[in-house]
């Protein structure tokens, strides 16, 4: 297996982007990534794009070929693959691109992620996202993802003494980071009182505990590491990649407060990278709901199981904390265009490791981690990156 590096990235604004279409968003992100990498179109061997549900959000399938076409690659006839793993579609697209370069099959690939979610009404967006849950045992009975994560949060509160204030502090921290990110959907700070007094969606989660419906796209360029210095003097190497699965429905798990897919994907990635959780300098984790970030920092080994809420109290995950988490603002503030999220996480870590994250820069960051979840934890993809 060859070493693989990220040599370029491109990010669009995230949010309710009424004046941009699905194809315009991914073309913008891809163009920015190609310019950032300094490569020409003829050097690209393949294209992978993560998109959860374009068929339901915009009525468009055959997404791989569409993206190749709107990005100007139809005349080069490169293979273009659409990748889906619910909200982990972007992370899985990164992994597929990583594997094809690592195997020697391709030298340079473009990996994109895109979703245009606001072209449907809110109830339809909720129903579309619910297709990532177990249709027979969860969605059929009216369970939505806010409801499923609320059950997880309630159990975590019962088992470990986690409080609504702990959950609220996750949202407050991530909004503070999002306020420093010019591409974030929500560039404003909030208070604990704002979160606690917001409209309740599913107890104990208020609307400010939930990530938004978003439009947006991100792209990165992956290259064989031994060729990366030809294009950039700041390549970032992917030193670990892990993927794991679990039951689709919560009722099939022995402990709904532990996402076993995260635990196992992390073990694979840490082993491949030959590091431990304490070696991570900065992380982007899947905070689709505030409880999800608390689970993530526990399951990734940053803190012991049950101590995620207390860790928030100790501010170990803030920009100047022991392990800064979601410097981009996370899904909560940056936004969550589901197919783009996993790619955007990698882009943020690359910016951090290149020292280009501006006001949200983590001093001395050398190793970063991304954690992308599908559904309520039925799939997980983790990547560990290191500045070369």
Tokens of 255: 């402990």
- Whats the size of the chain, residue-wise? 388
Does residue 174 carry a pLDDT above 90? yes
Give the angle subtended at the CA of 100 by the CAs of 368 and 40, to the nearest 5°.
Answer: 85
Please pick, among 87, 210, 223, 288, the residue that the annotation labels catalytic.
Answer: 87
In which band, very low, low, confident or very high, does the pLDDT at 283 lie, cut at 50, 70 and 90?
very high
Residue 177 pLDDT class (50, 70, 90 cuts):
very high
Token pair 């309740």 in the structure block, residue: 200
Average pLDDT value for residue range 4-26: 97
pLDDT, tens digit, for every residue of 123-143? 899 999 999 999 999 999 999
Tens digits of residue pLDDT in 230-260: 999 999 999 999 999 999 999 999 999 999 9
Q: Where are the domains positioned within the chain?
A: 4-121+214-228, 131-183+198-211+237-387
pLDDT above 90 (res 214): yes
The pair of three-digit structure tokens given for residue 183, joined into one six-digit string: 């591409």
Q: Which helix (H) or strand (E) holds 260?
A: helix 260-273
For 301-356, what is each residue's pLDDT tens digit?
999 999 999 999 899 999 999 999 999 999 999 999 999 999 999 999 999 999 99
Tell me what pLDDT residue 122 has: 87
Query: Comparing 4-121+214-228 with 131-183+198-211+237-387, is the CATH topology the same?
Result: yes
CATH classification for the domain delimited by 4-121+214-228, as one of 3.40.50.2000, 3.40.47.10, 3.30.460.10, 3.60.40.10: 3.40.47.10
Instruction: Give CA 73 to chain center in angstroms.
Output: 26
Strand order across the 80-83 sheet: 80-83, 46-50, 108-116, 215-224, 4-11, 236-245, 379-387, 367-374, 282-284
Residue 336 annotated to the active site = yes
Q: Is 308 exposed, middle or buried (0-12, 13-18, 19+ CB in 10 A)?
A: buried
Q: What is the pLDDT of residues 45-90, one digit of tens each?
A: 999 999 999 999 999 999 999 999 998 888 899 999 999 999 999 9
- Binned at pLDDT 50, 70 and 90, residue 27 comes out as very high
Q: What local confidence, expressed as pLDDT, does residue 294 receive? A: 98
Pairing of strands 379-387, 108-116: unpaired
* 0.75 surpassed by pTM: yes
Identify the CA nearest to 154 among candidates 250, 41, 43: 250
Looking at residue 249, its pLDDT comes to: 97
d(CA 94, CA 342): 8
Say which CATH superfamily domain 131-183+198-211+237-387 falls into: Thiolase/Chalcone synthase (3.40.47.10)
Q: Of the listed 286, 336, 371, 383, which one is catalytic?
A: 336
């Amino acid at each position: 297996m060859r070493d693989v590096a990220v040599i370029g990235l491109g990010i669009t604004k995230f949010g309710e982007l009424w004046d941009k279409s699905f194809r315009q968003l991914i073309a913008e992100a891809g163009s920015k990534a190609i310019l950032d990498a300094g490569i020409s179109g003829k050097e690209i061997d393949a294209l992978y794009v993560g998109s959860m549900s374009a068929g339901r959000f915009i009525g468009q399938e055959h997404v791989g070929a569409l993206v190749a076409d709107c990005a100007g690659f139809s005349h080069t006839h490169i293979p273009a693959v659409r990748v889906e793993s619910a909200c982990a579609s972007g992370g899985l697209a990164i992994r597929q691109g990583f594997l094809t370069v690592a195997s020697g099959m391709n030298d340079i690939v473009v990996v994109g992620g895109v979703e245009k979610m606001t072209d449907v009404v809110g109830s339809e967006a909720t129903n579309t996202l619910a297709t990532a849950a177990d249709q027979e045992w969860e969605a059929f009975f009216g369970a939505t993802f806010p409801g499923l994560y609320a059950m997880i949060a309630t159990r975590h509160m019962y088992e470990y003494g986690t409080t609504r204030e702990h959950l609220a502090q996750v949202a407050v921290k991530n909004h503070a980071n999002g306020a420093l990110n010019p591409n974030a959907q929500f560039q404003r700070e909030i208070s604990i009182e704002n979160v606690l007094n917001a409209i309740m969606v599913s107890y104990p989660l208020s609307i400010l505990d939930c990530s938004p419906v978003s439009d947006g796209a991100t792209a990165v360029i992956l290259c064989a590491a031994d060729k990366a210095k030809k294009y950039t003097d700041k390549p970032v190497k992917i030193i670990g990649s892990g993927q794991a699965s679990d039951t689709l429905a919560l009722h099939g798990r022995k402990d709904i407060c532990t996402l076993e897919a995260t635990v196992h994907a992390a073990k694979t990635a840490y082993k491949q990278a030959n590091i431990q959780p304490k070696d991570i300098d900065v992380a982007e984790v899947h905070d689709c709901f505030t409880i999800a970030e608390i689970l993530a920092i526990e399951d990734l080994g940053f803190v012991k199981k049950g101590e995620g809420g207390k860790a928030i109290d100790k501010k170990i995950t803030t920009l100047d904390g022991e392990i800064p988490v979601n410097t981009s603002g996370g899904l909560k503030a940056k936004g969550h265009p589901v197919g783009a999220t996993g790619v955007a996480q990698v882009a943020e870590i690359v910016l951090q490791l290149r020292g280009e994250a501006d006001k949200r820069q983590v001093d001395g960051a050398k190793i970063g981690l991304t954690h992308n979840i599908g559904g309520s934890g039925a799939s997980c993809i983790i990547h560990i990156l290191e500045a070369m």
